[in-house]
Amino acid sequence: MDSLFADEAFDRRPTIVVPGAVWVPGFLSSEAQQWIIARYAEWQSGPVPPHATTIAGHPMSVTTIGLGWHWQPGGYHRRAVDVNDKVVLPFPDWMTRLGRQVLQSAVTVVEDSADFAPGSAAAWGFDPACYHPDVALVNYYDEHAKMGMHQDKDEFDPAPVVSLSLGDTCLFRFGNTESRNRPFDDLRLASGDAFVFGGPARFAYHGVRSIQAGTAPDAGRLDHLGGGRINITIRTTGRD
């Protein structure tokens, strides 16, 4: 019965979800997943520990580590002013290269589609050579964590956001730019999947509805954390 609802039972072809948003399933190899998970253990022991950001007086159910910049609602800071006032770990060069590789894969998906005119990817800002991200927000979800529908709008630069999933599969909802309501698409983001949104979809509302406990592949298992999911979003703040 479980096999009926395994990730491979669903359509996992690369997909243009809406103009400006591209899902690339299975982007990360097993080796890459294991390597990045090992980096997470290093980030955990960095100067700013994983922390639950407070929004409207309530702590989020996810914990966050910032690389390059510390985020709190409304903006970015070099120091974790609402945690311990320490400077966050630097944004790693390899993450820039990885973000560009994801963007290139997204460009290929768009160029191979008969539904979009030539040049669509460039119009959406999918330009790997000109992609210069400077921050990653690394969120950890335990099996009970969720994230409400929200917009990523604290960046001054509207460059695309690159998202990577590790660990258990999540039910991800990607909506529209006008409200948290319909229309929206629900996707099962599995370990190793990449998702890019920019251009007309850059400020779309999106969120995580649930975590599907016990669905991680061997390469993406987070047993040392008690299971769950790691999500890395690579962004460009537009700040000096």
pLDDT digits (tens, 9 = 90+) for 83-100: 999 999 999 999 999 999
pLDDT value of residue 201: 98
The domain tally of the chain equals 1
Establish if 240 belongs to a structural domain: no
pLDDT value of residue 1: 38
pLDDT value of residue 7: 60
Average pLDDT score over residue span 111-128: 98
SS3 category, 29: coil
Establish if 112 belongs to a structural domain: yes
206 in a labelled binding site: yes
Establish if 163 belongs to a structural domain: yes
154 in a labelled binding site: no
152 in a labelled binding site: yes
Query: How would residue 145 be classed by pLDDT, with cut points 50, 70 and 90?
Result: very high
Locate 30 and state its tokens: 């097993």
Establish if 27 belongs to a structural domain: yes
Query: How would residue 35 be classed by pLDDT, with cut points 50, 70 and 90?
Result: very high
Under a CB-based contact definition with an 8 Å cutoff, are residues 64 and 23 in contact?
Answer: no
Q: What are the CB-based long-range contacts (under 8 Å, 24+) for 53-59?
A: 53/82, 54/82
Domain of 109, in residue numbers: 2-235
**DSSP 8-state symbol, 69:** S
CATH of the domain at 220: 2.60.120.590
Question: Does 41 have pLDDT greater than 50?
Answer: yes
Establish if 139 belongs to a structural domain: yes
| Residues in the chain, total | 240
